[in-house]
Amino acid sequence: MSISVSASDGATISRLAPVKINLALHVTGQRANGYHELEMIVAFGDFGDHISVTPALHDDFTVSGYYAPFIPLNNDNLVLKARDLLRTQTPSKCPPVHIHLEKKLPIAAGIGGGSTDAAAALTALNELWQLDLPYEALLELGLHLGADVPMCLHSQQNGAPLLVRGIGEDLSPLVEFPALHILLINDGTALATPTIFKALNKRDNPSLIAPNAFQSIDEVCAYLRKTRNDLFRPAETLAPQLQSRLDELAASGADFVQMSGSGATCFAIFSSCENMLQAKQQIRQAHPDWFVVTTQTYGNH
């Protein structure tokens, strides 16, 4: 999953911050502290942002890429929160660093942008600073940054699809799961996750059917048709065009379509790479100003 080089002699460590796709998302309850109980099937793709860290004379943070203008450069940014949180572990071993974020994922889009950036920053800095913190320690730190960060940290390990429970901390890799050909689209709509959860009418929905081993994309899609995204209806109240986005994906020949996370990014799974690329060309020509990208998720066999 990650691309890295030695941190000696001022070298840069770079990591992919992969897109996170919620293939299914069931809201099954709410805790006394307000956090929601979730059950999700999550996959990670080979497309995403990029984080690079380099030793520096003073702390610096720069951003490039199409979505760079929308990124806060202060401590509201999860990347900087990750840096500062990691530095509290052993401050004497954490000298100044230049962090660069290449931002390819849209903001507030339900595909883990900020969380996957934070996870990539944690692992890159752990290596740069030679802290040698184990994966379990990083998971604990990640949960302080946000419920999605632990699963994104898993993607830095091997990227296998996950069954996720609780508020996002209970991670179970799916042992038999094929790589998927996925088309992602977003028409520019940004939806804040807290706003979507507030719009939920029902918080004690039925659980996921436990996933079995999947040998093919067809088997995955057959299973996903029995699942839901319980955030779709509240998201649709704020972005009524979402159903038409799913309809457009379905009409392009997809085998399964759904909204990811709290939206408004929608995705389509295709039986073949060729079908996916044809659909991408068709939708990109019709909507040149949309976010339209393809990705192959990491499987586990």
Q: How far, in Å, CA of 73 to CA of 62, rounded?
A: 8
93 is catalytic: no
Marked catalytic residue, from 20, 81, 103, 104: 20
Cα 224 to Cα 178: distance, rounded to the nearest angstrom: 14
Is 148 among the residues known to form the active site? yes
Residue 133: its H or E element: none
Q: How far apart are CA 89 and CA 97, in angstroms?
A: 16
Question: Which residues fall in the annotated binding site?
Answer: 106-116
Cβ-contact 50, 17 below 8 angstroms: yes
Distance CA 188, CA 94 (A): 38
Candidate list 81, 103, 104, 148, residue with the active-site label: 148
d(CA 276, CA 22): 19
Cα angle 248, 192, 236; round to 5:
35
Rounded to 5°, the CA angle 177-180-184 comes to 140
Q: Are the C-beta atoms of 150 and 143 separated by less than 8 Å?
A: yes
Closest CA to 196 of 41, 75, 22: 22
Burial of 260 (0-12, 13-18, 19+ CB in 10 A): buried
Q: Taking Cα atoms as reference points, which of 280, 233, 257 lies closest to residue 21?
A: 257
Contact 217, 271 (CB under 8 A): yes
d(CA 60, CA 75): 12
Binding-site residues for ATP sit at: 106-116
Catalytic residues: 20, 148
